[in-house]
Amino acid sequence: MADKTSDDAVKHFHEMGLDDRILKAIAKLGWIEPTAIQEKAIPLILEGKDVLVKARTGSGKTGAFAVPIIQKILSVKQDSNVTGVLALILAPSKELSRQIYNNFQQLLIKCSQDIKVVDISPQVEVGTQRAVLKDHPEIVVSTPGRAVLHLKAGNFCLDPSLKVLVIDEADLVFSFGHEEDIKELMRHLPRVYQAILASATLTDEVSSLKGLLLHNCVSLKLQEPGVAPITQLFHYKYFAEEKEKALILYALFKLGLIKGRSIVFVNTVNKCYKLKLFLEQFEISTCILNSELPAVSRIHALSQFNDGKYSIIITSDETENLNNTNEKKHKDNHPTKDKESGISRGIDFRDVSNVINFDFPKSVNSYIHRVGRTARGTTKGTAVSLVSVKEKELLDEVDNFLAERLSIRGQHIFRDFQFNMKEVEGLQYRVKEAWKVVTGLAIKETRLAEIRRELFNSKKLKHYFKDNPRDWETLRHDKATHVIKLASHVANVPDYLIPTSLRSDPSLIRTRKRARPPSKAAGMVQNKYKAKMENPLVNLDIFEKNNEEMEEITAGPKKKEFKSYQKRKRRY
């Protein structure tokens, strides 16, 4: 499919024959014009064709199938009094199911009386959800496993009412262990229905699903690289080992060098807790997201991040860890992973400015899906990868792949992260000590404390504890967990430890309780870098470039005034 030229006119939503109620909901969402995939997919789905949609994360795939499904259901209900499930939307994870459900709710805001949508993916008793399914919702959102469970229980049926079947993130369905569920589901489908597969990548699993579910389908493969262009998403690399990575992460957050919401990716669940406990010692608040957390806790953590209560979320890449053989060896020592949980993909992280790969991902696809959490739509984003020597080969593989996809062969996608380690040498000692304190025992007991909190807050166990008060008291007075001793002075960064280049701009440092106004000479540097404050990552090369400009100032006519300022700073 060819790219649009300047002469190609964009087909707007009001030109697609959509109901006025849908157009009003679209306007309320702020969708000015359809994305490329929406412009191509919506008319085809309205025509009743089976469609295979391949488009990158953040391209508007959900809207591409949600809008025409609502339009088709409105048309069907206008012509007849049909009842039952008209559209079944399947997703590999509960988080993605919740996101799709929310998107449908937003598009149905003007016709919620005519069309009902329910999400049956949460892991609750089947009988609890039976009531909402008996109300005959037109749209059901679910994971394949939960849908099969309810179909077997007779809580709803698909034959003959089903009109549309959608499988989102189709390339993950089999890797999340839903192959048998899909085959079981097919026994409950009517002979005639419309099917839509949506995916960010086309894999063997998608080809298998295509053969099972689609008939004479139209494949939409827009000529796009699968990742945002380099003018929108900036990729940086910095070679460092684990303790150096910890120092860089601390400096980025504590010295205010990074702005906006950030996702920190690691490769194991334990590393999530290690980073959280490490940063907590410096009063840097974070939340955690991983597949070993209960579904309610994952949704709660995600909502806290999206609502702005936390600006940093630490998460492990579950698409890699679900099949990690090393973790299977220690299965008895860790809580069971939830196969219906996905982190790097299928989660509605909102307004993410930065993705930080503390651990470099283990595959090209994993990198693409991680950085797909930022630079969505038309907004810009930054991806910073901290790479160890062992991970360099993977970095080169990703670099070559992206260069080919973005049609800039022979060039490097990753820019050097201009971070001068010498400027933060004074902070190494406290970082080293804080990192050493977070032992395996501390991580284990933190996770036990988390499990204890879940037991206290569990609605399922509420009645049990009411009937067994002794168990409640035992749990309450259980052995206190290991607590990392926090030194009160560690959270504050004294002026003498602040990098020289940053002392000229107190607005960048959020750690000092009081600060004196800088001199006029220092203010000259601040004004020069004021324009760069708009970038998601504040002036990555500030340590080196600022030093050069400060040398010019100290050598000029302002030398005496600057020395006086430095003297007052030392006294302060």
Terminal C-alpha separation, the chain? 65
Q: Read off the pLDDT of residues 68-105 as tens digits, 9 standing for 90 and up.
A: 999 999 999 988 888 899 999 999 888 889 889 999 99
* Structure confidence at residue 3 (pLDDT): 38
In single-letter form, the type of residue at position 354 comes to N
Confidence of residue 339 (pLDDT cuts 50, 70, 90): low
Using CA atoms, how far apart are residues 130 and 132, in angstroms rounded to an integer? Answer: 6
* Structure confidence at residue 110 (pLDDT): 94
Using CA atoms, how far apart are residues 331 and 17, in angstroms rounded to an integer? Answer: 54
Using CA atoms, how far apart are residues 469 and 479, in angstroms rounded to an integer? Answer: 18
Q: Read off the pLDDT of residues 401-419 as tens digits, 9 standing for 90 and up.
A: 998 888 787 788 999 998 8
Confidence of residue 509 (pLDDT cuts 50, 70, 90): low
Residue pair 383/235 in contact (Cβ under 8 Å)? The answer is yes
* Structure confidence at residue 452 (pLDDT): 75
* Structure confidence at residue 153 (pLDDT): 93
Residue 267 has pLDDT above 70, yes or no: yes
The owner of tokens 């440092």 is 509
* Structure confidence at residue 273 (pLDDT): 93
Pairing relation of β-strands 87-90 and 164-167? parallel
* Structure confidence at residue 555 (pLDDT): 55
Q: Read off the pLDDT of residues 97-133 as tens digits, 9 standing for 90 and up.
A: 988 999 999 999 999 999 999 999 988 888 889 989 9
DSSP string, 536-558: SB--TTHHHHHHHHHHHHHHSTT
- Mapped onto helix, strand or coil, the DSSP state of residue 103 is helix
E strands within 360-481?
A: 381-387, 415-416
**204 or 555: which leads in pLDDT:** 204
Joined tokens for residue 283: 């009063």
Tell the burial category of 571 from Cβ atoms under 10 Å away from its Cβ (0-12, 13-18, 19+): exposed
Confidence of residue 465 (pLDDT cuts 50, 70, 90): confident
Using CA atoms, how far apart are residues 194 and 217, in angstroms rounded to an integer? Answer: 10
Query: Which H or E run includes 45?
Result: helix 36-46
Joined tokens for residue 441: 């025992």
Residue 206 has pLDDT above 90, yes or no: no
Instruction: Look at the pTM and tell me if it is higher than 0.75.
Output: no
Q: How many residues in total does the chain contain?
A: 572
Using CA atoms, how far apart are residues 480 and 503, in angstroms rounded to an integer? Answer: 42
The owner of tokens 């262009």 is 229
Q: Read off the pLDDT of residues 14-68 as tens digits, 9 standing for 90 and up.
A: 999 999 999 999 999 999 889 889 999 999 999 999 999 987 766 788 999 999 9
- For 539, list phi and psi in degrees, rounded to 5: 45, 75
Using CA atoms, how far apart are residues 43 and 33, in angstroms rounded to an integer? Answer: 14
* Structure confidence at residue 356 (pLDDT): 96
What is the average pLDDT across 464-477? 74
Joined tokens for residue 242: 């684990």
* Structure confidence at residue 196 (pLDDT): 95
Q: Read off the pLDDT of residues 207-256 as tens digits, 9 standing for 90 and up.
A: 888 888 988 899 987 665 567 888 889 999 999 999 999 999 999 999 88
Residue 136 has pLDDT above 50, yes or no: yes
Confidence of residue 138 (pLDDT cuts 50, 70, 90): very high
357 bridge partner residues? 265, 385
Of the chain, the percentage scoring pLDDT greater than 70 comes to 76
Q: Read off the pLDDT of residues 272-311 as tens digits, 9 standing for 90 and up.
A: 999 999 999 999 999 998 878 776 777 778 888 888 899 9
In single-letter form, the type of residue at position 49 comes to K
* Structure confidence at residue 96 (pLDDT): 87
Using CA atoms, how far apart are residues 466 and 477, in angstroms rounded to an integer? Answer: 17
**543 or 436: which leads in pLDDT:** 436
- The interaxial angle of helices 61-79 and 20-29, nearest 10 deg, is 160
